[in-house]
A = this chain, B = another copy of it.
Amino acid sequence: MTAAILSIGTELTRGEITNTNESWLSSELTAMGFQVSEMAIVDDHPGRIGDALQRLAHQHDVVVATGGLGPTTDDLTTAAVAAVLGVALVRHAPSLEAIRRRFEAAGRTMSPSNEKQADFPLGADVLPNPVGTAPGFSVPIANCRAFFLPGVPREMKRIFADHIAPAIGKLAPRLTFQIRLKTFGMPESRVGEKLAGVEERFAGVTLGYRAHFPEIEVKVHAASSSLAEARALADHAAAEVRSRLADVIYGEGDDTFAEAMGRALVSRGYRLAVAESCTGGLVGHLITREPASEYFVADAVTYANSAKTRLLGVSEDVLRGHGAVSAEVAAAMAEGVRRVCGVEIGAGVTGIAGPSGATPNKPVGLVYWAVNHPGGTVVRERTFLGDRQQIQMLAAFNVLALVRDVCLGKVS
């Protein structure tokens, strides 16, 4: 079974927004067992929408299209589909009523332009939208089932889950299973080298890599003659991947690296306080994107030297003698924030994120970080390559990694 994705909208062909619907849908369809070999994007032009739709519908079993279902004059998808089918548009009374109620619930009056969102090609199946005004719909074109969804990601995902996945789930044999392993600390090329030969050893397994800077996700994708066999195959191959990558795998699925660090802290009964300079709050931000009050107490972003002294008690002599970017200051920040906050683990980071600030001896990218713990202090130094935001991100992840390693007893 093959599926294609059609994205519709001049904001896409003009590059005004990045098309995240496309990768979300192709990932879902692939996981359901469809082969997605082609995706297309066209602007809001009835002829081009119709041409693309005809072409994809004649080559694939399923087409999922997004966009162009809004109330404005440049939303032309529904009319283009009716033209392809050679049928009229008809108003769907229950949808009109649902749209009207949606506006009333928000204390607003429905504009006449929204009425067209209740028009569908004659014979279409309407797919209700519980989270927005634009319903989706579905029609057959030749031997293909074509689905049309609004372009707003939240609405698109909801209608896909409510109506499309159940409708097409039975079309594709679910003979695949996927395990996502999250890694940090090894470049993608090295991860690939370490995993050379895994696909050959496990017939039916393919490995995929998704880089989400600075992490690499390894997808272990298994296909077999039944879902149970695919699952067992994926489990076996994932065990092999785990043994080859060992330390750099920190979690699975939607795990974040900060959560992995948090689990390590909680397992020891430790609380954490952080002191940041060049990363400017990024370490705290990564930690608090998910709830963290069980272990996270405070983060002192001491950007100016005066703040390092006032908030953390870093001595002016140390700052003058070694410079703010030094192993000594990273250690003093970690020690200071631990003492001031009265916690078990203190982490400090200082460096030169750039683009300016380099000196003859200290290049852009030079970063020192330290963890102060009940058994002592660990300090690390690296010169990271990249732009300001990449250097900040690499530094922040390495701080989290060192805290985790200390808690796991890997360094002391």
Contact = CB atoms under 8 A, between A and B. Distances in A.
A27 interface: yes
Contact of A37 (B29, B45, B283, B304): B45
Given A28-B15, A38-B40, A287 B293 contact: no
A42 B40 CA distance: 9
Interface in A299-317: 299-304, 306-307, 310-311
A41 B22 contact: yes
Q: Which of A11, A13, A210, A342 has its CB near the most chain B CB atoms (within 10 A)?
A: A13
A26 B14 contact: yes
Contacts of A299: 280-281, 299-301, 303
Contacts of A200: none
A43 B3 CA distance: 13
A1 B321 CA distance: 63
Contacts of A30: 13-15
Contacts of A98: none
A403 to B, nearest CB: 15
Given A14-B26, A14-B36, A298-B302, A280 B288 contact: yes
Given A297-B306, A340-B310, A42 B48 contact: no
Nearest to A45: B37
A208 interface: yes
Contact of A307 (B23, B24, B27, B273): B273
A211 B30 CA distance: 28
A16 interface: yes
A24 to B, nearest CB: 7
Nearest to A298: B307
A311 B310 CA distance: 10
A226 interface: no
Given A20-B18, A30-B15, A285 B280 contact: yes
Contacts of A23: 12, 15-19
Q: Which of A18, A274, A290 has its CB near the most chain B CB atoms (within 10 A)?
A: A18
Given A17-B211, A24-B15, A293 B303 contact: yes
A186 to B, nearest CB: 16
Interface string A188-214: 000000000000000000001111000
A219 interface: yes
A297 B311 CA distance: 11
A401 to B, nearest CB: 18
Given A11-B208, A281-B301, 5 more contacts: A291-B355, A297-B303, A298-B304, A299-B301, A300-B301
> Which 9 A-B pairs rank lowest in CB-CB distance, beginning with the nearest?
A281-B284, A280-B288, A15-B27, A15-B26, A298-B307, A299-B301, A281-B281, A281-B285, A39-B41
16 contacts: A11-B210, A15-B22, A15-B23, A16-B23, A16-B208, A16-B209, A18-B19, A38-B48, A280-B285, A281-B283, A282-B288, A288-B301, A297-B303, A297-B307, A307-B341, A310-B341
Interface of A: 11-20, 22-30, 36-43, 45, 48, 52, 208-211, 219, 271, 273-274, 276, 279-293, 296-304, 306-307, 310-311, 340-342, 353, 355-356, 388-389, 392
